[in-house]
Structure 1
Amino acid sequence: MQRPRTLRTALALAAASALVLLPATPAAASTEVVVNGTFANGTAGWWNSANTAVSVDTGRLKAVVTGGTANPWDAQVGQSSVPLQSGVAYVLSFDASASAAVTARTVVQLGASPYTGTLNQAIALTTTAKHFSFAFTSTLTTTAGQVLFQLGGGSGYTFYVDNVSLLAGPNPIGLTSGFYVDPNSNPATWVAANPADSRAATIQAGIASKPMARWFGNWSGDITTAVAGFVGAADTADKLPILVAYNIPGRDACGGQSGGGAGSVAAYKTWIAAFANAIGNRPAIVVLEPDALGDFSCMDTAAIAARNDMLVYATQQFRDHATNTWAYLDGGNAGWVAADTMAQRLYAAGVGNVRGFSLNVSNYYTTAETTTYGNSVNSSLQTRYAYTKPYVIDTSRNGNGGNGQWCNPAGRKLGAVSQVGGGAELLLWVKVPGDSDGQCGIAPTVPAGTFSADLAVHLITGV
């Protein structure tokens, strides 16, 4: 199943390379907010409710849970006075097991009435210790937060937990005053070059004035200059840029309109490392390699292994060198790969190293359809690997949903503008609205990545 995507033109690169870059702001280190999470000091800092008896056993917290309780919260182990800040990204992680296979819950919430929660996750426990990790953005600002393990609501058993951590990390959204509107996007460049065109005002108001991604690939020239220029301009404006890294070797290998990519594994690794380093400590959102995990149908086992190796390397680069970036490894769309299969592919490609995964890039599935798919992917991630990940949805062209076609189909419409929330962690215009998917559909003469005013107007009007 072929996918549309966007190729960036080089029109804005000369301007970007001429920018005077300001020093990146220092990265904020992650902060541990749980006390005595390794239980090296016994049970200090932790409490337990009725229907539990706790002790430390071989370095782990051991909680003997009474059976016959009605609700999960009838038997709890927790820590109070946990500081939380709204809008800050957190990762709760721990190692846990039980004397029998049971499902418990882990909760982060306000520790007083009305006990507002900001994380509530089921955890499937077995007799073998598993590592659990849950990323979330707090909706609470309080010094009276709680981290809880809710263990009731079933038969009696023994619960074990160790290495409990709640890390508060940098949040690129909180470090900026909003999403960056690219003044050199393809739509903005077209409007500037065609002020007398009757469509210019409509395209300016409906598309060019909105925040959207800039795509980077083998057309971008020196990648350090290109990325640093774009991110530096956004940082100077105190805005959050959206970038797409799209240069995996064998890109669109199964006969699509946007083939290409770096010439070798080594060349790609050099390129993606430079990309991450060019962002540095500045805030950014990055979508990593659209379609790379869906486009397996014409690849053999060795090619898939090489691709996974490159993607793992890419995720490590953003984890280690772009410290205020939320990177999302692309996970295809709701109509392409089964959710459980995609969860396995994301895991193998290193999604655990980055913020999360992206969905619906350059496609048309509704936000509701995509949210259902994203939640299914997360359900499989949790079942198989004991963690979930935030995800983002490309809403640039999903306002009317899909019609079964992918290449410049008629009757599509702009979706919700880039924003926080809306069903996913972020809704983003990843595909640049008005850029052609290829010489097909209602733009049979417009090459992939080339802006078409007619396509743009069709998306604005929805007809």
Structure 2
Amino acid sequence: MKLAILLAIVAAVLAACARADRPPVTYAPLVHPFKGANLFHDIETAAAAWARANGDPDWVKPITDTPQAIWLTAPRDLDRLPAVIRAAASQRALLVLVTYYVPNRDCAGAASGAPDPDSYLAWIDRLADTLGTNKAVIIMEPDAIAADCYTDARAQLLREATYRLARAGHHLYLDAGHPKWRQPGQAAERLIASGIQAAQGFTVNVSNRQTTADSDVWAREVSKMTGDREFLIDTSRNGLGPPPGDEWCNPARQGLGERPTTDPGTGAAAHLWVKRPGESDGHCGGESTFGFSPRQAATLIANAQWVPENLRRRAGNERA
């Protein structure tokens, strides 16, 4: 017993020394880009295109009339960005972008995301050049930090990308995952290793369905360990909370969450629709596309408590 106590004391001392040897983390000043901001409303989404091609039905407007983030998933996505920048300027709106091109994206191997780190950083530089002096919020690489294939090499790559975009004057939010994925301490360690020091904060629940309340509690803990960074919560599809078994790929039970707001009245800097509602998670749950699914959009709307009853009923009829 005495030996066990002695070993515990030695371990505690060594851990304390290790923490003391770490260099202090210096964070960039917070500028709060969402405070008082008008969110950009993109009228060229896949949902909007489907609606125009099908007579603009009223029931889909809860999705098409709501601001959503713009995803950049490949080099070709940067070709459209100048037009998006002009549209955001005409609305005097804050542009929210999502980078989703890190190598080995989704832990799916070399065929997913950028082919190599050099190609990824060249793409990041092209993004910065395309944006020019137009400041944007950029959500960095959903799932990349929380993923099982996270490595020191990925941390270094994300850190370099974050610092490059931050030096260009943009507002960076690294994706931290969600409350059911990583413990707050581990999420914080990975965020720090990945460059959150240069960012405004982090995102929670992107493309997932954890409740806003659970996401907020978890994010507050992570924020305490990362220099009180801001956090954003994706509320696009969490209206019913997590489905049975935390099924993530096009579950039958899901609903739109609350509409985006830059004044949520919680610990978050904003609640956003990062994932575009109605766009499939993949070939699963009865879907055969990664694109827009009217059937899934109808399910989300029919189960959204804030949507007017007549539109919910019409969406339910479409789903049937």
TM-score by structure 1 length?
Answer: 0.57
Tell me if the contact between 2:262 and 2:269 (Cα under 8 Å) persists in the aligned partners.
yes
Which of 327, 343, 347 does residue 192 from structure 2 map onto? 347
**1:222 Cα shift?**
6.2
Distance in 2 between residues matched to 1:368 and 1:327, nearest whole Å = 23
Asked if 1:397 corresponds to 2:240, the answer is no
**Aligned residue in 2 for 1:407:** 249
**Aligned residue in 1 for 2:124:** 272
**Aligned residue in 2 for 1:290:** 142
Distance in 2 between residues matched to 1:248 and 1:374, nearest whole Å = 23
Distance in 1 between residues matched to 2:58 and 2:53, nearest whole Å = 12
Tell me if the contact between 2:96 and 2:138 (Cα under 8 Å) persists in the aligned partners.
yes
Asked if 1:445 corresponds to 2:287, the answer is yes
**1:170 Cα shift?**
7.8
Deviations 1:139-167 (A, max 9, x none): xxxxxxxxxxxxxxxxxxxxxxxxxxxxx
**1:253 Cα shift?**
1.1
**3-state SS of the aligned residue for 1:215?**
strand
RMSD over equivalenced CA pairs, Å: 2.4
**3-state SS of the aligned residue for 1:347?**
helix
**1:247 Cα shift?**
0.2
Tell me if the contact between 1:134 and 1:389 (Cα under 8 Å) persists in the aligned partners.
no
Which of 184, 187, 199 does residue 44 from structure 2 map onto? 184
Highest Rg: 1 or 2? Answer: 1
**1:131 Cα shift?**
6.1
Tell me if the contact between 1:254 and 1:295 (Cα under 8 Å) persists in the aligned partners.
no
TM-score by structure 2 length?
Answer: 0.81
Letter matched to residue 272 of structure 2: L
Q: Within 5 Å, which residues of 2 pair with 1:346-365?
A: 346-365=191-210
**Aligned residue in 2 for 1:202:** 59
Tell me if the contact between 1:172 and 1:284 (Cα under 8 Å) persists in the aligned partners.
no
Distance in 1 between residues matched to 2:217 and 2:125, nearest whole Å = 33
**3-state SS of the aligned residue for 2:239?**
coil
Tell me if the contact between 2:236 and 2:258 (Cα under 8 Å) persists in the aligned partners.
yes
Aligned length: 280
Tell me if the contact between 1:134 and 1:388 (Cα under 8 Å) persists in the aligned partners.
no
**3-state SS of the aligned residue for 2:63?**
helix
Asked if 1:436 corresponds to 2:280, the answer is yes
| Cα distance change on mapping 1:457 and 1:340 into 2, 3 Å | same
Distance in 2 between residues matched to 1:129 and 1:315, nearest whole Å = 20
Asked if 1:236 corresponds to 2:90, the answer is yes
Q: Within 5 Å, which residues of 2 pair with 1:101-180?
A: 169=31, 171=33, 174=36, 178-180=38-40
Please identify which structure carries the higher helix content: 2
Distance in 1 between residues matched to 2:118 and 2:24, nearest whole Å = 35
Tell me if the contact between 1:217 and 1:247 (Cα under 8 Å) persists in the aligned partners.
yes
**3-state SS of the aligned residue for 1:252?**
helix
Tell me if the contact between 1:318 and 1:354 (Cα under 8 Å) persists in the aligned partners.
no
Distance in 2 between residues matched to 1:356 and 1:402, nearest whole Å = 24
Tell me if the contact between 2:46 and 2:292 (Cα under 8 Å) persists in the aligned partners.
yes
> Structure 2: where are the runs of 5+ without partners?
1-19, 304-315
**1:254 Cα shift?**
5.2
Letter matched to residue 292 of structure 2: F
Q: Within 5 Å, which residues of 2 pair with 1:367-386?
A: 367-381=212-226
Tell me if the contact between 1:294 and 1:331 (Cα under 8 Å) persists in the aligned partners.
yes
**1:436 Cα shift?**
0.3
| Cα distance change on mapping 1:272 and 1:131 into 2, 3 Å | closer
**Aligned residue in 1 for 2:306:** none
Q: Within 5 Å, which residues of 2 pair with 1:46-57?
A: none
Tell me if the contact between 1:398 and 1:414 (Cα under 8 Å) persists in the aligned partners.
yes
**1:366 Cα shift?**
0.7
Letter matched to residue 400 of structure 1: L
Distance in 2 between residues matched to 1:248 and 1:188, nearest whole Å = 28
**1:129 Cα shift?**
10
Letter matched to residue 361 of structure 1: V
Distance in 2 between residues matched to 1:188 and 1:222, nearest whole Å = 18
Distance in 1 between residues matched to 2:293 and 2:167, nearest whole Å = 38
**1:236 Cα shift?**
2.4
Runs of 4+ in 1 over 4 A off after TM superposition: 128-136
Tell me if the contact between 2:28 and 2:200 (Cα under 8 Å) persists in the aligned partners.
no
Q: Within 5 Å, which residues of 2 pair with 1:74-89?
A: none
Letter matched to residue 261 of structure 1: G
Aligned residues with identical type, % of pairs: 33
Deviations 1:242-289 (A, max 9, x none): 21110001001158xxx7101111000000111123223223221110
Distance in 2 between residues matched to 1:398 and 1:286, nearest whole Å = 22
Distance in 2 between residues matched to 1:222 and 1:244, nearest whole Å = 11
Distance in 2 between residues matched to 1:222 and 1:391, nearest whole Å = 26
**1:339 Cα shift?**
0.9
Letter matched to residue 401 of structure 1: G
**3-state SS of the aligned residue for 2:80?**
helix
| Cα distance change on mapping 1:349 and 1:260 into 2, 3 Å | same
> Structure 1: where are the runs of 5+ without partners?
1-125, 137-168, 382-386
